[in-house]
Amino acid sequence: MVMRETGVIEATHLSKAFSDTEGENLEALSDFNLRIQPGEFVSLLGPSGCGKSTFLRILAGLESATGGTVRLDGEVVNGTDYRRGLVFQQPKLFPWMNLYENVAFGLRSRGIYRENKHKVMEYLDMVGLADFSRSYPYQLSGGMAQRAALARALINSPEVLCLDEPLGALDTFTRLNMQDELLRIWERCELTIIMVTHDVDEAIVLSDRILVMSHGPESTVIADVAVDVPHPRHDTDADSAVELRHQLLDLLEH
Ligand code: ADP
Ligand code: MG
pLDDT string in tens for the chain (254-residue length) = 445 788 899 999 999 999 888 888 899 999 999 999 999 999 999 999 999 999 999 999 999 999 999 999 999 999 999 999 999 999 999 999 999 999 999 999 999 999 999 999 999 999 999 999 999 999 999 999 999 999 999 999 999 999 999 999 899 999 999 999 999 999 998 899 999 999 999 999 999 999 999 998 999 999 999 999 988 888 777 888 899 999 999 999 87
What pLDDT score does 214 carry? Answer: 95
What pLDDT score does 3 carry? Answer: 59
* Ligand 1 pocket, mutate which of 20, 30, 53 (most atoms under 8 A from CB): 53
222: CA distance to ligand 1 center in Å? 19
254 residue type, one letter: H
159: CA distance to ligand 2 center in Å? 22
* Ligand 1 pocket, mutate which of 14, 15, 16, 18 (most atoms under 8 A from CB): 18
Give the helix/strand (H/E) hosting 247.
Answer: helix 239-253
146 residue type, one letter: Q
What pLDDT score does 238 carry? Answer: 82
What's the Cα-to-Cα distance from 254 to each of 106, 181, 182, 183, 251, rounded to whole Å? 42, 33, 30, 30, 6
What's the Cα-to-Cα distance from 252 to each of 7, 47, 103, rounded to whole Å? 28, 7, 37
The model's pTM is 0.93
The ligand 1 atom at the shortest distance from the C-alpha of residue 63 is: 23
47: CA distance to ligand 2 center in Å? 9
Is residue 152 within 8 Å of 144, Cβ to Cβ? no
For residue 58, the number of C-alpha atoms closer than 13 Å in the C-beta half-sphere is 25
What pLDDT score does 1 carry? Answer: 47
196: CA distance to ligand 2 center in Å? 8
| CB of residue 44 inside a 6 A radius of ligand 1 | no
| CB of residue 50 inside a 6 A radius of ligand 1 | yes
| CB of residue 18 inside a 6 A radius of ligand 1 | yes
First to last CA, the chain: 31
- Which of 83, 71, 85, 76 lies closest to 10, judged by CA? 71
Nearest CA to ligand 1 atom 16: 49
Give the Cβ contact number of residue 67 at 10 Å: 15
Give the Cβ contact number of residue 204 at 10 Å: 23
* Ligand 1 pocket, mutate which of 16, 50, 197 (most atoms under 8 A from CB): 50
Helix, strand or coil, per DSSP, at residue 125 = helix
What pLDDT score does 25 carry? Answer: 87
Q: Look at the chain and count its residues.
A: 254
What's the Cα-to-Cα distance from 203 to each of 9, 157, 170, rounded to whole Å? 19, 24, 16
Give the Cβ contact number of residue 134 at 10 Å: 10
Phi, psi of 212 (to 5 degrees): -100, 135
Helix, strand or coil, per DSSP, at residue 40 = coil
